[in-house]
Each structure stands twice: as structure tokens, then as C-alpha cells.
Amino acid sequence: MNNQINKQTLDTFLVTTVILLVGISCFTLYTLGEAYPSAYSGYYKRQIIWFIISAVGIGVIMVIDFDRYRKFGWPLYILGIFMLVGLHFLPWAYENNGALRWYKFGTTTLQPSEFVKVFLVVGLANVITSHNEKWNHKDLNYDLVLLGKILGMSLPVFILIAIQPDIGSSLVIASIAAFLIVISGIRWRTIIAVFGSVFVVVATLFILYFANPDGFINFIEEETPQFDHVADRIKAWDNPHLYQAGAAMQVIKSMLAIGSGQLSGKGTMDYEVWIPERHTDMIFTAVAEQFGFVGSSIIIILYFLLIYRIVQIALECKDPFGTYLGVGIVGLFTYQIFQNIGMSIQLMPLTGLPLPFLSYGGTSLLVYMAAIGLILNVRSRQRTFMFESGEDD
């Protein structure tokens, strides 16, 4: 008797959650277009088109068994590195507001760092799986070699994205690596030592900043002028009312918009606060102003359900590669959701990170849907074992 049954099923819970989030995105973009036709007209139509294209992409991704994507781990990683490096010499590279993050083909722009996030997840999942297949004994050497492999793949991507400059996306790379380190098989004593060291560094930076804010900011502006925008956003986060311009003004208006929504919101298309880039980075404020705390809570609950279901699928998968794929994608989504909503309520400094599935953007929606496609692929080919021992009758 065959001791395993392959279930070719589509996870309707995950699909429904994603459709609800994209539906809310399209509706919010529609209301922005109606309220501010000169700035946001037609964005919801383009978002719908990108959603349809992405849905077709999910179908393509699900044709191939997820385990076969292991073969693409290194090619995708190398392609991602080339795309990031190519920004510095390829003719299609496009710079905007001092940031070199895009390729431009006619009127269409593509942001390679978005693609690289998923490429890195696949690459790391492959490397961790291969390492654990070859190493049977876990000791300090096992920990250090595997940690070196994860950091060796993640750091070049982190640096190439950071120098664009795009600190927000580089921290997403750090989040992916951190989540995968935790479940990679590295022993807890080593993990605690690594994360403890990171905590000490971050805590030291916080202490230095709060001990002498002006000196800390001046150091960033003088020693690393390419990260001037980071200094501006730190000032805007710490005391926006003292620096009422640029990023600080965006923080103030974001808080005004969210606060004005109160419990149940001001109603559909009832916008009173103008916020730049509201269709992308600041779309959460549009939901909060229209539908208040209730509408904002629904968004957060949907994201919780999304993350919870992906974690559940990853842990139920009998194939380690599928588990690592799921956890890497959880790292991708979790940080972006926390950062985007956090910056909208002044919990975190401003970054240019979109809110997954809600923010307008063809590249980002395509990449996030591809990530969901991988998870659906893992779930659709879930293997259920009839006997724990794995022995046939």
C-alpha cells in the first residue's frame, strides 16, 4: 500500500484573503481617483489589470511542482544580483529623486529589488535544504557553515539595495534572512549569540541617538551624504512638529488623516487631508480616514490571517524546501506590513515600502502574487502520510 496521498487542492482560505485585500486596494484607489481626479485617476483600473496578469502568473507557477524550483535557486539568485548591479551600467536604469532603483521601458518602470526578494527566498531555501541533506551531525562547525552560507547570500543583496539608496527594502532582506536563520536548523545557542550581537549593535545606536540626537544626525549627513534622506526621516519620526517640512509634514498629515477617521470613519470618498503618494506608501491612511478604527482593524486582521495561514502551510509541509519557502515569504510579508502600518502611525520612521496587496504598483503586486503562488503550490502538493512510521502494510 502506498503510504502517502498527494492532495492537489487549492487553498481557498488563502485565496479569499488575498482577493479581499486586493479588492480593498482597488476600491480605495477608486475613491482616491474620484476625490482627486487630477492626481489618482485611473489607478484602480491599472491595479485590476495587474491583478489579472498576476493571477495568470500564479497559474503558471503552480504548473510546476514546487520542489522543482530548487533547480532555479542559484540561477534566480544570480539573475537578481545582475539586475541590481545592472542599475549602475545598463541603459534602461532610471533615477528618480536621487534614488537609482528602477528600470524604465517606455512608460513602464520595474523595480528589481522587488523581484530579488522572492529570488532570495528561493535561493536561501535551496541552500538550507541542500546543507541539511549533507550534514547529519549538528555542532558548532555545522552552525557556522550554514550561517555563513545564509549571510553570504543575503549580505550582497542587502548592500546592493541599501546603496540605491533603499534602506526599507534592504531591511526586508534582513528580515527574510532572520526568519530563515531561526528555522534553518542552527542550534539555539548560536542563534541567541547572533541575534544578541545584533541587538547590542541596534541598542547602542539608539542610545547614541537619544544621548545626542543632533550629533548623531550630523554624523550621518556629513559622513554618509548619500543617506541624507535617512537622517531626515529619523528627525521626522522623532519630532515631526519640530521639522515641519518634507518627511515630517508627511508624518503629521498621516497622523491627522488617521485620527480624523476616529471609530467608524468619515465615509466613502470623504477626504479632508491631502497626503503625497497616498496611492502607494500611504494607502493605509486612506482606509483609516474613510473607515476609521473599524476599517483599519479589518485590514490588520486580514493580514494576520494571511500570515497565520502561510505559517500553517509551511509547518504542515513534509518537504523541508517547502517549509523554508513558506517561512522566507512570511519574513518578506511580516516586516513590510509592520513597517508600512508602523510608519503611518509614527511607530516607525518613514520608508518607501509599499503595503502588500493594498498599495498601487504593478511590480510589487506581481511579486507578492508570485510569492502567494509559491505558497499555493506548496499547499496544493501537500503530502499526507497515512502511517507515521512510513512502512507499507
The pLDDT tens digits of the residues spanning 175-196 come to 999 999 999 999 999 999 999 9
Range of the domain at 377: 1-56+244-387
For the segment 241-259, what is each residue's pLDDT rounded down to a tens digit? 666 666 678 888 888 889 8
Euclidean distance between the first and the last CA atom of the chain, given in angstroms as a whole number: 6
Task: Tell me, yes or no, whether 309 lies in a domain.
Answer: yes
Q: How far is CA 43 from CA 19, 25, 27, 49, in A?
A: 18, 10, 10, 10
Task: Tell me, yes or no, whether 123 lies in a domain.
Answer: no
Task: Tell me, yes or no, whether 82 lies in a domain.
Answer: no
- pLDDT on residue 268: 85
Task: Tell me, yes or no, whether 267 lies in a domain.
Answer: yes
Task: Tell me, yes or no, whether 62 lies in a domain.
Answer: no
Task: Tell me, yes or no, whether 301 lies in a domain.
Answer: yes
Task: Tell me, yes or no, whether 192 lies in a domain.
Answer: no
- What number of other Cβ atoms are within 10 A of residue 307's Cβ? 16
Amino acid in position 306 = L
Q: Is the pLDDT of residue 130 over 90?
A: yes
Q: What percent of the chain has pLDDT above 70? A: 92
Q: What is the DSSP letter of 235?
A: H
- pLDDT on residue 311: 95
CB distance 392 to 56 below 8 Å: no
For the segment 198-229, what is each residue's pLDDT rounded down to a tens digit? 999 989 988 888 888 778 777 777 777 666 66
Q: Is the pLDDT of residue 107 over 70?
A: yes
Average model confidence (pLDDT) across the chain: 87
Closest CA to 286 of 271, 298, 300: 271
Task: Tell me, yes or no, whether 255 lies in a domain.
Answer: yes
- What number of other Cβ atoms are within 10 A of residue 292's Cβ? 20
Q: Is the pLDDT of residue 391 over 70?
A: no
Cell digits of residue 22: 486586493
As a whole number, mean pLDDT of residues 123-143 equals 91
As a whole number, mean pLDDT of residues 356-374 equals 92
> How many structural domains compose the chain?
1
- pLDDT on residue 2: 42
Q: Is the pLDDT of residue 390 over 70?
A: no
Q: Is the pLDDT of residue 4 over 60?
A: no
- pLDDT on residue 190: 92
